[in-house]
């Protein structure tokens, strides 16, 4: 989907996604010292807002101006540096203690561009967290877009985080409200060597 399609989706109702952070972030973030964070493809800002409320200095980037405006409203007085930009071409110009990409929906060329600078943006000793819809979710899970090319597999993601030390990479299950079937996601947790 392009930025106009996301703008339309975000304008149709108050929150498309939950206001709570992605369930896989808090357990990892709890092990990290508070610092600077970059949230790429931040959407309505739920993860960025949560991190900022935990004391992090957060920059959140998304190409949907409507999504960013909604995030600003939801954030209220919570300080986040909101940036409207295409995550495949955005250049942060600095490094961050934590870089995260949660549910980005782009093709292989976009993923290569995004992950190339995302990996570079992790401070030595810093952490990278990526969460995406696993390819197996299309046939055995629930939710997510019906486009196989944007789903994650270990084989697709591992080369994209070359240069980082993998802490864990693999499928994880996520409960979905109103469904007896769980969503199948892929979680990538890595650190940059000192």
When mean pLDDT is compared across 5-14, 33-42, 69-78, the lowest value belongs to 5-14
Residue 129 three-state SS: strand
The number of beta carbons lying within 10 Å of the beta carbon of residue 23 is 13
pLDDT at residue 68 greater than cutoff 60? yes
Is it the case that residue 8 has pLDDT exceeding 90? no
Distance (Å, rounded) from C-alpha 98 to C-alpha 187? 15
- C-alpha dihedral, 130 to 131 to 134 to 137, nearest 10°: 180
Residue 171 contacts by C-beta under 8 Å, 6 or more apart in sequence? Answer: 134, 136, 184, 185, 186, 187
Which residue is it, tokens 């060597």?
Answer: 193
Position 145 confidence tier, pLDDT thresholds 50, 70, 90? confident
What's the first-to-final CA gap in the chain, in angstroms? 37
What number is the average pLDDT over the span 177-191?
96
Burial of residue 45 (CB within 10 Å: 0-12, 13-18, 19+) is buried
Distance CA 120, CA 135 (A): 26
* 123 pLDDT more than 80: yes
User: Quick one: which of 130, 146, 149, 128 has its CA closest to 192?
Assistant: 128
Instruction: For the chain, list the domains and their CATH numbers.
Output: 1-11+34-86 (3.40.50.150), 95-105+114-194 (3.40.50.150)
Q: What is the pLDDT of residues 19-37, one digit of tens each?
A: 689 999 999 999 999 999 9
Q: Is the pLDDT of residue 154 over 70?
A: yes
Kindly report whether the global pTM for this prediction surpasses the value 0.85: yes
Report yes or no: 174 and 102 within 8 Å, Cβ to Cβ: no
- Reported as a single tens digit per residue, the pLDDT across 87-101 is 999 999 999 999 999
Q: Please give the structure tokens belonging to residue 64.
A: 């949907």
């Amino acid at each position: 989907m392009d930025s106009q399609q996301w703008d339309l989706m975000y304008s149709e109702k108050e929150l498309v996604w939950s206001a709570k952070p992605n369930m896989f972030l808090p357990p990892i973030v709890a092990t990290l010292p508070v610092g600077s964070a970059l949230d790429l493809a931040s959407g309505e800002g739920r993860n960025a807002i949560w991190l900022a409320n935990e004391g992090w200095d957060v920059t959140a980037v998304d190409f949907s101006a409507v999504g960013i405006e909604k995030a600003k409203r939801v954030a209220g007085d919570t300080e986040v540096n909101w940036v409207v930009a295409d995550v495949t071409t955005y250049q942060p110009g600095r490094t961050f203690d934590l870089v995260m990409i949660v549910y980005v929906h782009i093709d292989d060329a976009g993923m290569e561009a995004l992950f190339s600078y995302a990996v570079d943006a992790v401070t030595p000793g810093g952490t990278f967290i990526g969460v995406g819809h696993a390819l197996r979710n299309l046939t055995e899970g629930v939710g997510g877009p019906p486009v196989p090319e944007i789903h994650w597999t270990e084989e697709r993601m591992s080369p994209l985080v070359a240069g980082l030390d993998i802490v864990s990479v693999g499928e994880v299950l996520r409960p979905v409200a109103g469904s007896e079937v769980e969503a199948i996601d892929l979680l990538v947790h890595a650190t940059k060597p000192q």
